[in-house]
Copies of this chain bind each other. A is one copy, B any other.
Amino acid sequence: MKRIGILTSGGDAPGMNAAVRAVARKAMAEGLEAYGINYGFAGLVAGDIHKIEAADVDGVVNQGGTLLYSARYPEFAHEEGQLKGIEQLKRFGIDALVVIGGDGSYHGALRLTEHGYNTIGLPGTIDNDIPFTDFTIGFDTAVNTDVEALDRIYDTAHSHDRTFVVEVMGRGAGDVAMWAGVSAGADAIVIPELEWDMETIANKIKHNRANGHRCNIVVLAEGVMGADEFVEKLSQYGDFDARANTIGHMQRGGRPTAKDRVLASKMGAYAIELLLSGKGGLAVGIQNNQLVTHNMLDLFDSKHKAELSLSKLNEEISFH
């Protein structure tokens, strides 16, 4: 093994650059060469590939987004696309790859492994919705972005005795909402994994408002419904002077937090160790604070397990 390819795929996440840097630098430390593949699998097929020198990843550890760009490319599900990608790998002399992205991108990674090109997957997504990892690269940053926004919203909620329903990202997972909600001292957190009831929420807000807590925040996971719809339904249970806010795409960007930088750095270096020991088709995760690997095939049959106890915790320590 002499040359490693690196690509980012799916939605971008803060810390992807820290991961790219770690993969490339660790590769160099082991005497390998690193090649960047732009625009994910699309760029692989198109041959949008370039050598990464040590200086190329200087000063990127703190940058949001991905310097390798990202793109959706469903065509890679077909063998035709895969074979074109393999051709490019041959052309550039790349022996193995590291793919950073959501679990969607692991399908492509597994195909490459099956074609004889060992590929390791790193979990890069703000949604924290990948099985077999407690945390994904980008999650901590997105949560902190939300929390900062919620802190700001709290100021105005508090000044005006208002209720805010704030929609955060997470696709089908409630992790972002739970972490942001607990951190912001939300009155209620609504996530797709747990049953909830509008009347109960309305009653809690009423109870809280009647007892001196007149600024109320509901953190809503996007996987449940939109904030506007929620406000409309909530207002059927009373007048809470409620406003809908959707944090939106800013959750995907920004300088990564220390936790995301360290996690990305660890995982990136670990991916190279795995490749050097001849492994492929593995997804890296962090569980119980230890780096772990799982077979990608196993991931496809599994579902991410959110730390649902945070929901109960929030009920106990929010105003009541």
A contacts, CB < 8 Å to B: 8, 11-12, 14, 21-22, 25-26, 28-29, 54-55, 58-59, 61-66, 69-71, 134, 140, 143-147, 149, 151-156, 158-161, 164, 179-180, 182-185, 211-213, 243, 245-255, 257-259, 261-262, 265-266, 268-269, 287-290, 310, 313, 316-320
A59 in contact with B154 given A29-B316, A29-B317, A266-B313 (CB within 8 Å): yes
- Which 5 pairs show the lowest CB-CB distances between chains A and B? A155-B253, A152-B253, A64-B155, A65-B155, A288-B288
Residues of B with C-beta under 8 A to A69: 159-161
CA distance A58 to B77 in the complex (A): 34
CA distance A208 to B252 in the complex (A): 23
Interface contact B155-A25, CB-CB below 8 Å: no
Interface contact A65-B159, CB-CB below 8 Å: yes
**Chain B's nearest CB lies how many Å from the CB of A203?**
17
**Chain B's nearest CB lies how many Å from the CB of A319?**
6
Residues of B with C-beta under 8 A to A248: 153, 243, 245-247
**Chain B's nearest CB lies how many Å from the CB of A170?**
14
Interface contact B61-A213, CB-CB below 8 Å: no
CB-based nearest B residue for A268:
B317
Summarize A's interface: helix, strand, loop or mixed. Answer: helix
CA distance A151 to B257 in the complex (A): 11
Residues of B with C-beta under 8 A to A12: 155-156, 159-160
Interface contact B184-A252, CB-CB below 8 Å: no
CA distance A257 to B248 in the complex (A): 20
CA distance A8 to B213 in the complex (A): 20
Interface contact A246-B243, CB-CB below 8 Å: no
CA distance A247 to B61 in the complex (A): 20
Q: Given A12-B159, A25-B317, A259-B259, list of 20 further CB < 8 A pairs?
A: A12-B156, A25-B316, A26-B317, A29-B316, A54-B213, A54-B319, A55-B212, A58-B319, A59-B158, A62-B154, A62-B183, A62-B185, A65-B158, A69-B160, A71-B160, A71-B161, A152-B253, A179-B258, A246-B248, A269-B316
Residues of B with C-beta under 8 A to A151: 62, 253-255
**Chain B's nearest CB lies how many Å from the CB of A206?**
16
Contact of A149 among B160, B250, B268 (CB under 8 A): B250
**Chain B's nearest CB lies how many Å from the CB of A155?**
3
A159 in contact with B246 given A262-B183, A289-B289 (CB within 8 Å): no
Interface contact A182-B317, CB-CB below 8 Å: no
**Chain B's nearest CB lies how many Å from the CB of A189?**
12
**Chain B's nearest CB lies how many Å from the CB of A38?**
11
Most buried by B among A12, A159, A316: A159
Interface contact B54-A211, CB-CB below 8 Å: yes
A258 in contact with B316 given A54-B213, A59-B154, A265-B182 (CB within 8 Å): no
